[in-house]
DNA sequence: TTGTAGGCGTTATCAA
DNA sequence: TTGATAACGCCTACAA
């Protein structure tokens, strides 16, 4: 029971049990049949000496570690933080450790970080790619690293993927707005080049066009400066043909959008209706509560791990893609469009913010 | 430039450069002087073959990996998610990888997860301990693993620590409430046994007593059931001597608190004033905006890493403790206490929620 | 069924 | 300054 100061090795166990190192290894890995008597001896020695196999040596010998990379854009988004939380738990229960990498949406950084990871001989990789991650993908493909891509599907399908049906989600979103009488919508995005965003924009425009109504469906970028964003949003909302419905492309955009509206002294759904992608935990406590498009995070994590486990077993299997549906949770932030919405709205603080 | 399919080793580099493996190693690690001519040869071969040292072999030989453990309770709290984000970046810039472990506030799980980590021969550990993590701490101490403890100080000071002055923070909080005329406060906590919580409770009661006023300072547990929590909170707020100021011990509690108040049809600061520890990103968008006690996350992360780096260099140095100040950001959620606050408030939905 | 020994890729010691 | 070589701890083919 006493914990030995210096590291106990498989050789110590072997000696203590009066068997050879081979036997110890066989018992621990179940690689070969070992007589019950010696099995007991070995296990007794193991627990007595408190032996834990050195993962470094194991990995070197086996050619790979028990490490799984989890590469996400950041930890600030509810979606990514949720995935990180879930994946760590699942990986741990399967005997793997998660090594965490954040790309900060920067393809260069992502590439460098992934290269560094590879030197650790990962057993697998779970990746939410950044906008231009061609090089990163080539890298892991070249290395033959078992990889599952989450949330964002690359143009080529070379990997296992677990993604969201962004088109359907957006189609539903537009349909709901239309049903409430809205005809002019604004989609606010942060990374227009992201495939996720592109799919949503496409569906946004297409659904509006296909409605057969006289609709306008515009797209606006968030940018990196909150004050500037507020000013630009104000400009949009001052126009006589202003949008009556706003859709935010993620948690962060949703937050900025709400801050901007509050700074402008606007209320929802009175002045404008709101909807946000992803599922921030604060969505139901802003007043009125925010409608959201919820990602099935738990399901994504579970399925991603299953895919990765299978890929690790069968590296050559053809790539699979699983597409999950997001759920629109409609709350009070979406209201009926007053009249035809062509009256302008007063923006008390617009000038203050526009500086 | 062409990426070789099979892994290139130090031996390949040596052969390609026409030198011995030792020389390559010396050049790469700067361990010994190597003539300029051979140095060039080696570096050329390295870049030509695209050689990256195998971390597993390196670690085995050196006796430790380039992995640093980061053990946090979860990813749902703004504080922990922020720390995870920052620490990953800092570690990466120092050439380390972060292996992520979540204890979910469970000491057993924490212990198991840390044991598993140790087999990877970590270079260091950054740890936010759970409530009863004596065993975990003994474990890492026994192993002699360079460790820095964040946010929660254990009773014994055996480790480097970077913590928050919870007493001062709470003292300030109570003082502000008192200045606004409040005399009856309720502190809502989730983990009463956490040292952080205990320190805050102590300061909470002490400051109230030391004010010399007739104050009541009560503590309430959040529990695990939201409906039950709302009911209990309602019960508190129905009493004629109800609290007029509520303090939430963290992000999650703050969220539950606000949900409960909204469900009860109460408004702040009209019916009750609010303050929350930690700094959720939604604090300024709830209406009226929530006052918070903000942790200096970035500073915590930076200093923690510096401490760890120093501890890795000098394992035997005496343990240090750095205490940082939290900042109370007062917003509209804290208002003056109306009259003596002894009038009861109507709770429209109390019965619905109390089921 | 069990033991022996070679090798995974590095680093570091010891000669040259 | 450089090269050969012995570990590091583990797994596994091979021999017994």
Is A233 among the domain residues?
yes
- Residue B9 pLDDT grade (very low, low, confident, very high; cuts 50, 70, 90): very high
Residues of A in contact with B95 (CB under 8 A): 116
- Mutate one of B28, B69, B97 to test the A interface: name it (highest A CB count within 10 A): B97
Q: What CATH number is given to the structural domain containing A336?
A: 3.40.50.2300
- The nucleotide closest to B21 (CA, C1' atoms): D3
* Other Cβ atoms within 10 Å of A88 Cβ, number: 26
| Separation between Cα atoms, residue B261 and residue B115, nearest integer Å | 42
- Least CA distance to A64: which residue of chain B? B56
- The nucleotide closest to B26 (CA, C1' atoms): C11
The answer to whether the CB atoms of B99 and A97 lie below 8 A apart is yes
Residues of B in contact with A142 (CB under 8 A): 3
| Degrees to nearest 5, angle at CA B79 with B77 and B80 | 70
Nearest-CB residue to A100 (from B65, B98, B119): B98
Is B2 among the domain residues?
no
Same domain, A155 and A115: yes
The pLDDT of residue A323 is 97
Residue A190 burial (10 A CB sphere; 0-12, 13-18, 19+): middle
Phi, psi of A103 (to 5 degrees): -90, -15
Digitized pLDDT (tens) for each residue of chain A, 355 residues in all: 334 457 899 999 999 999 999 999 999 999 988 999 999 999 999 999 999 999 999 999 999 999 999 999 999 988 999 999 999 999 999 999 999 999 999 999 999 999 999 999 999 999 999 989 999 999 999 999 999 999 999 888 999 999 999 999 999 999 999 999 999 999 999 999 999 999 999 999 999 999 999 999 999 999 999 999 999 999 999 888 999 999 999 999 999 999 999 999 999 999 999 999 999 999 999 999 999 999 999 999 999 999 999 999 999 999 999 999 999 999 999 999 865 545 556 665 544 443 3
The alpha carbon of residue B39 and the mean position of all alpha carbons in its chain are separated, in whole angstroms, by 45
Our measurement of CA A256 to C1' D2, in angstroms, reads 63
Give the pLDDT confidence of B288-315 residue by residue, as tens digits. 999 999 999 999 999 999 999 999 999 9
> Does residue B309 reach within 7 angstroms of strand D, measured from its CB?
no
Same domain, B284 and B172: yes
The answer to whether the CB atoms of A101 and B113 lie below 8 A apart is no
Distance from first CA to last CA of chain A, Å, rounded? 69
Same domain, A195 and A139: no
The pLDDT of residue B78 is 87
Distance from CA of A50 to the nearest CA of B (A): 11
Give the pLDDT confidence of B249-265 residue by residue, as tens digits. 999 999 999 999 999 99
Same domain, A273 and A212: yes
Same domain, B203 and B341: yes
Tokens matching residue B164:
């928050």
The answer to whether the CB atoms of B74 and A89 lie below 8 A apart is no
Same domain, B120 and B241: no
The pLDDT of residue B355 is 35
- Least CA distance to B51: which residue of chain A? A119
Same domain, B266 and B283: yes
Same domain, A287 and A313: no
Give the pLDDT confidence of B51-95 residue by residue, as tens digits. 999 999 999 999 999 999 999 999 998 899 999 999 999 999 999
Is B58 among the domain residues?
no
Same domain, B84 and B198: no
Our measurement of CA B113 to C1' C3, in angstroms, reads 35
Residues of A in contact with B284 (CB under 8 A): 259
The answer to whether the CB atoms of A282 and B284 lie below 8 A apart is no
In contact, B87 and B70? CB cutoff 8 Å: yes
- Least CA distance to B281: which residue of chain A? A255
Give the pLDDT confidence of B194-236 residue by residue, as tens digits. 999 999 999 999 999 999 999 999 999 999 999 999 999 999 9
- Residue B313: HSE in the Cβ half-sphere, 13 Å Cα cutoff: 6
In contact, A324 and A299? CB cutoff 8 Å: yes
Residues of A in contact with B100 (CB under 8 A): 70, 84, 88, 98-100
* Other Cβ atoms within 10 Å of B101 Cβ, number: 23
Nearest-CB residue to A285 (from B99, B142, B255): B255
Tokens matching residue A82:
């949720």
Mean pLDDT of B168-197: 96
Is B88 among the domain residues?
yes
The pLDDT of residue A354 is 38
Tokens matching residue B232:
């209990």
The pLDDT of residue B340 is 53
Is A62 among the domain residues?
no
Same domain, A181 and A117: no
The pLDDT of residue A7 is 87
Domain span at residue A314 reads 67-164+297-325
Rounded to two decimals, the pTM is 0.93
Residue B122 above 70 pLDDT?
A: yes
Same domain, A338 and A309: no
Distance from CA of A345 to the nearest CA of B (A): 21
Q: How many domains does chain A have?
A: 3
Residue B320 above 70 pLDDT?
A: yes
Same domain, A344 and A244: yes
The answer to whether the CB atoms of B142 and A3 lie below 8 A apart is yes
Residue whose C-alpha is closest to residue A305's, from A91, A71, A118, A48? A91
Is residue A26 within a helix (H) or strand (E), and if so which, with residue range? helix A21-29
Residues of B in contact with A287 (CB under 8 A): 262, 286-287
Our measurement of CA A221 to C1' C10, in angstroms, reads 50
How many beta-carbon contacts under 8 Å exist across A and B? 140
| Separation between Cα atoms, residue B127 and residue B71, nearest integer Å | 5
User: Which residues 31-70 of chain B have a CB under 7 Å from nucleic chain D?
Assistant: 32-35, 37-38, 57, 60-61, 63
Distance from first CA to last CA of chain B, Å, rounded? 69
Residue nearest to nucleotide C6 (CA to C1'): A61
The answer to whether the CB atoms of B284 and A60 lie below 8 A apart is no
- Residue B156 pLDDT grade (very low, low, confident, very high; cuts 50, 70, 90): confident
Nearest-CB residue to A85 (from B102, B117, B284): B102
The pLDDT of residue A4 is 46
- Least CA distance to A65: which residue of chain B? B56
Our measurement of CA A36 to C1' D15, in angstroms, reads 23
- Strand C bases near protein CB (under 7 Å) are 1-5, 7-13
The pLDDT of residue B79 is 93
Q: What CATH number is given to the structural domain containing B35?
A: 1.10.260.40
């Amino acid at each position: 029971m006493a914990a030995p100061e210096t590291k106990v090795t498989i050789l110590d166990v072997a000696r203590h049990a009066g068997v050879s190192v081979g036997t110890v290894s066989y018992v621990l890995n179940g690689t070969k049949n070992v007589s019950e008597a010696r099995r007991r001896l070995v296990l007794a020695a193991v627990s007595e000496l408190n032996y834990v196999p050195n993962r470094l040596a194991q990995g070197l010998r086996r050619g790979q570690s028990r490490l799984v990379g989890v590469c996400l854009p950041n930890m600030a988004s509810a979606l990514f933080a949720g995935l990180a939380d879930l994946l760590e738990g699942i990986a741990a229960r399967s005997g793997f450790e998660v090594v965490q990498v954040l790309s900060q949406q920067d393809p260069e950084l992502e590439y460098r970080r992934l290269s560094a990871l590879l030197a650790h001989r990962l057993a697998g990789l779970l990746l939410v790619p950044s906008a231009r991650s061609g090089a990163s993908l080539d890298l892991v493909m070249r290395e033959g690293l078992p990889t599952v891509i989450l949330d964002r599907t690359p143009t080529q399908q070379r990997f296992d993927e677990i993604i969201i049906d962004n088109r359907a989600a957006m189609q539903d979103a537009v349909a709901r707005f239309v049903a409430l009488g809205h005809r002019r919508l604004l989609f606010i995005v942060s990374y227009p080049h992201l495939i996720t965003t592109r799919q949503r924009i496409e569906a946004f425009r297409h659904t509006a066009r296909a409605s057969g109504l006289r609709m306008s469906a515009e797209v606006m970028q968030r940018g990196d400066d909150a004050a500037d964003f507020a000013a630009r949003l104000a400009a949009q909302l001052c126009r006589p043909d202003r949008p009556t419905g706003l859709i935010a492309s993620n948690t962060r955009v949703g937050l900025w959008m709400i801050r901007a509206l509050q700074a402008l002294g606007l209320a929802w759904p009175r002045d404008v209706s709101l909807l946000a992608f992803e599922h921030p935990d604060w969505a139901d406590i802003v007043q009125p509560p925010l409608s959201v498009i919820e990602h099935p995070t738990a399901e994504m994590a579970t399925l991603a791990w299953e895919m990765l486990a299978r890929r690790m077993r069968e590296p050559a299997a053809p790539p699979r893609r699983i597409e999950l549906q997001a759920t629109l949770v409609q709350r009070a932030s979406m209201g009926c469009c007053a009249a035809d919405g062509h009256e302008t709205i007063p923006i008390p603080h617009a000038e203050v913010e526009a500086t």
